[in-house]
């Protein structure tokens, strides 16, 4: 089962490829010895692009990893998933990025990131990246990738290239509370909204980049700013779509939650890929909800990606 009539050109993303190392015990932070499980291949942009490729779309990522096991584990995984890694540089002097993750009792998560000084922090628009961007029909950005002024500059360079070629742009703010303290992040968020055709916030992220105090006011403000459409992710409750003419809600699918990591990334990739293949908004929302639900039902971010057949089976079982 494939998506028919996918428009020519690649979906390209830029940003961190990392390993997730997860605490097996719930609690706060990492101030004591813990049982951990990992490394799992990950990084929000990497999971996003792996999901787009899983749906059969030509897909590529611009990134940088270290010449170490964490780096090679990711490269091999992406290659197996048919993601074009021609613009993933292997850096000799920096180690692959990592994220230690621990769940709190209430389901919230604490992260400990090695990003800025990692290989991912050295990502740049070099010659292989430019070659990819020339073939790019849709460019996706994760807010989590805007963790330094250097990255913001590189992302901006890439957007200018793809916009000049007529590509569309999506942006998932993917804000982690640990990152909002980074001054660069806020500046980066505001910049991305100016270029954004599809904005993919989850719940509270909708109002953060606006002056608005309520959801409807934030939606109006963002559409006024020129954002093409807004797709709000609402965890177990599903998702909603807004553009100038329409507001559509789509309830979520019931699953047993094993690990929420990557749900938003799989959701976003599925929505974008299905829209690019010309499916109606309602069906894209439903498939994206199914992708998110399947992602939370499996442990490990990258392990959560699924096929169109699996998404359709979940939808058929629910109805
Ligand atoms: P992430 O933590 O990966 O960044 P997010 O905050 O970006 O996630 P969520 O709203 O948590 O995004 O999840 C994305 C989508 O996945 C939801 O819109 C929904 O369709 C699906 N989803 C998430 N959690 C659940 C759940 N517990 N049950 C069913 N579906 C879910
Ligand atoms: Mg997210």
pLDDT of residue 185: 75
Let me know: does 267 contact 292? Beta carbons within 8 Å: yes
pLDDT of residue 181: 66
Ligand 1: centre distance to CA 197 (Å):
21
Averaged pLDDT score across all residues of the chain: 93
pTM above 0.85, yes or no: yes
pLDDT of residue 189: 82
pLDDT of residue 1: 64
Ligand 1 contact, 51 CB (< 6 A): no
pLDDT of residue 221: 94
Cα separation of 319 and 287, whole Å?
13
Ligand 1 contact, 306 CB (< 6 A): no
Ligand 1: centre distance to CA 262 (Å):
8
pLDDT of residue 177: 61
- Residue 116 class from Cβ within 10 Å (0-12 exposed, 13-18 middle, 19+ buried)? middle
pLDDT of residue 154: 96
pLDDT of 15-28, one tens digit each?
999 999 999 999 99
Q: What percent of the chain has pLDDT over 90?
A: 82
Cα separation of 50 and 46, whole Å?
6
Ligand (nearest to CA of 240): 1
The full set of domains in the chain, from first to last, is 9-318 (3.40.1190.20)
* Residue closest by Cα to atom 6 of ligand 1: 202
Whole-angstrom distance between the N-terminal and C-terminal Cα of the chain?
20
pLDDT of residue 180: 63
pLDDT of residue 260: 84
pLDDT at 287 over 70: yes
Place of tokens 């309602």: 282
- The first and second tokens of residue 2, run together, are 């494939």
Mean pLDDT score, 282-309: 96
Let me know: does 49 contact 11? Beta carbons within 8 Å: yes
pLDDT at 216 over 80: yes
pLDDT of 96-147, one tens digit each?
999 999 999 988 889 999 999 999 999 999 999 999 999 999 999 999 898 8
Ligand 1 pocket, mutate which of 267, 291, 298, 306 (most atoms under 8 A from CB): 267
pLDDT of residue 208: 77
pLDDT of residue 178: 60
Let me know: does 285 contact 243? Beta carbons within 8 Å: no
pLDDT of residue 104: 93
pLDDT of 72-92, one tens digit each?
999 999 999 999 999 999 999
Ligand 1: centre distance to CA 286 (Å):
13
Q: Which residues contact 73 (CB under 8 A, 6 or more apart)?
A: 19, 39, 41
pLDDT at 312 over 90: yes
Ligand 2: centre distance to CA 201 (Å):
7
Ligand (nearest to CA of 202): 1
Residue 5's pLDDT band (boundaries 50, 70, 90)?
low
Residue 179's pLDDT band (boundaries 50, 70, 90)?
low
């Amino acid at each position: 089962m494939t998506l028919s009539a996918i428009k020519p050109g690649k979906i390209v993303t830029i940003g961190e490829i990392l390993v997730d190392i997860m605490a097996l015990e719930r609690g706060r932070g990492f101030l004591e010895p813990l049982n951990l499980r990992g490394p799992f291949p990950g990084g929000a942009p990497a999971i996003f692009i792996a999901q787009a490729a899983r749906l059969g779309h030509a897909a590529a990522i611009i990134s940088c990893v270290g010449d170490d096991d964490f780096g090679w584990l990711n490269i091999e995984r992406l290659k197996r998933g048919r993601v074009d890694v021609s613009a993933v540089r292997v850096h000799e002097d920096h180690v692959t990025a990592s994220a230690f993750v621990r769940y709190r009792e209430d389901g919230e998560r604490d992260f400990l990131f090695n990003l800025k000084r990692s290989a991912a922090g050295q990502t740049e628009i070099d010659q292989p990246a430019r070659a990819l961007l020339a073939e790019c029909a849709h460019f996706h950005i994760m807010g989590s990738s805007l963790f330094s002024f250097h990255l913001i500059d590189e992302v901006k360079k890439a957007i200018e290239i793809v916009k000049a070629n007529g590509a569309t742009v999506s942006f998932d703010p993917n804000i982690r509370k640990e990152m909002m303290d980074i001054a660069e992040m806020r500046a980066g968020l505001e910049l991305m909204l100016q270029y954004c055709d599809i904005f993919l916030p989850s719940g509270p992220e909708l109002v953060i980049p606006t002056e608005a105090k309520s959801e409807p006011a934030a939606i109006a403000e963002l559409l006024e700013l020129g954002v093409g459409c807004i797709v709000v992710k609402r965890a177990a409750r599903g998702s909603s779509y807004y553009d100038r003419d329409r507001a559509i809600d789509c309830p979520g699918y019931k699953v047993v939650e094993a690990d929420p990591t990557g749900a938003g990334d799989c959701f976003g990739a599925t929505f974008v890929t299905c829209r690019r293949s010309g499916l109606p908004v309602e069906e894209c929302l439903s498939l994206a909800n199914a992708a998110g639900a399947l992602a939370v039902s499996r442990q490990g971010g990258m392990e959560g990606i699924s096929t169109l057949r699996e998404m359709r089976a979940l939808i058929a079982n629910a109805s």
